[in-house]
Amino acid sequence: MSERAAGPEIQRLVQLLARLPGLGPRSARRAALHLIRKREDLLAPLAEALRIAYERIAVCSSCGNIDTLDPCTVCRDERRDRSVIVVVETVADLWALERAAAIRARYHVLGGTLSALDGVGPKDLNLASLVERATADGVGEIILAVNATVDGQTTAHYIIDLLAHLPVKVTRLAHGVPVGGELDYLDEGTLAAAIRQRTAF
């Protein structure tokens, strides 16, 4: 942004907004102008929400979720099936599964995947506490809800080996035809996985 168009405060706002994922400099300028126009309705509550998030949000010491409570709201929820732990890569994946409302269980957030290319090893992930939780009384199933990427699957195999000596069932998400998907548009790997993992009607 030109220094002549706005003072350093507005420039700083635009620069910070431009660092958000999905926002380039142009969208950041538009967002900044929108916020300034909606000063009372949007800018003030957003500033307050950001302040509260900065002060109060913490990582759950049990599952790795983020919340203002530790243990988090999900871990505290007594209505959840405590025999199942769903392993996800990131908090975004946890939120996605909660939006789908497909399962009412507890989670374990790994904080990424193993990646030789990016130098991410087992010690960089939330794995030690997963073994601890999988050993706890009443836990009967660990669902590996990791991405169907090379790194995701490498991580899944590592976890399967890690938990092999425990009396828990380890399962993973099905691979195959997405809901509403057309076969003609699918890649060969997905089609092959769908055939291999076919289920009885």
- Interface with Zn ion (CB under 5 A): 60, 62-63, 65, 71-72, 75
E-only strand ranges, 78-136: 81-88, 105-109
- If the CB atoms of residues 32 and 144 are measured against Zn ion, the closer one turns out to be 144
Give the residue with the Cβ less far from Zn ion, 133 or 175.
133
The residue count of the chain comes to 201
CB of 74 vs Zn ion, minimal distance in Å: 5
Residue closer to Zn ion, measured from CB, 14 or 63? 63
Q: Would you say 62 or 113 has its CB closer to Zn ion?
A: 62
Rounded to whole angstroms, the Cα distance separating 113 from 149 reads 10
Output the six-digit token pair for 27: 């969208």
Quote the least distance from Cβ 104 to Zn ion, whole Å: 14
Nearer to Zn ion, 72 or 144 (CB): 72
DSSP secondary structure code for residue 83 in this structure: E
105: which 2 tokens? 């269980």
178 prior amide bond cis, ω within 30: no
CA–CA separation, 109 and 73 (whole Å)? 14
Contact residues for 89 (Cβ-Cβ < 8 A; gap 6+): 109, 110, 111, 112, 113, 146, 147, 152, 155
Structure tokens at 106: 């507890």
What is the closest distance, in whole angstroms, from the C-beta atom of residue 121 to Zn ion in the complex?
Answer: 24
Please report where in the chains the tokens 């590592």 appear, as a residue: 158
> Per residue in 164-173, is it b (16+ CB within 10 Å) or e — as a string?
eeeebebebe
Pick the closer one to Zn ion by CB: 27 or 73.
73
Q: How far is the CB of 105 from Zn ion (least distance, A)?
A: 12
What's the min distance (Å) between Cβ of 45 and Zn ion? 27
